Structure 1
Amino acid sequence: METLFDAAIIGGGPAGLNAALVLGRARKNVILIDEGLPRNRVTHESHGFLTRDGIKPDEFRRIAVEQIRAYPSVRFSADIAVDIAGADGDFKVSAKGGDIYRAKKLLLAVGKKDRLPEIEGLTDVYGKSAFVCPYCDGWELRDRRLAVIAKGERAFHFAKTILGWSERITLCTDGPDELTDAQREELRVRGIPLFDARIRRIVSEDGLVSKVELEEGAAVACTGIFFAPTLVPGSDLPRALGCELTPTGSIAATDVLGKSSVPGVFVAGDIATELNQLIQAAAMGAMAGAGINAELLAEAWEARGRAMRS
Structure 2
Amino acid sequence: MADLLSRPGDRRARLRALIDAGEPVLAPGAYDALSARLVEQAGFDACYMTGFGTTAGLLGRPDVGLLGGAEMAANARRMVAATDLPLVADADTGYGNPINVVRTVREYEQAGVAALHLEDQVMPKRCGHLTGKQVVPAGEMAAKVRAAVDARTDPDLLIIARTDAAAVDGLDAALERARRFADAGADLLFVEAPTSEEAIETVATELSGHRLVFNWAEGGRTPALSRERLAELGFALVLYPVGTLLAATAGMRELLERLRTDGTPAAMLDRLGGLDAFTRIAGIDEVRELEERYRDDAGA
Question: Shorter-chain-normalised TM-score: which range?
Answer: under 0.3
Is the helix fraction higher in 1 or 2? 2
Which of the two has greater strand per residue?
1
Relative contact order higher in (CA < 8 Å, ≥ 6 apart): 1
The structure with more radius of gyration: 1
User: When the two structures are superposed, what TM-score results if normalisation uses the length of structure 2?
Assistant: 0.26
User: Normalising by structure 1, what TM-score?
Assistant: 0.25
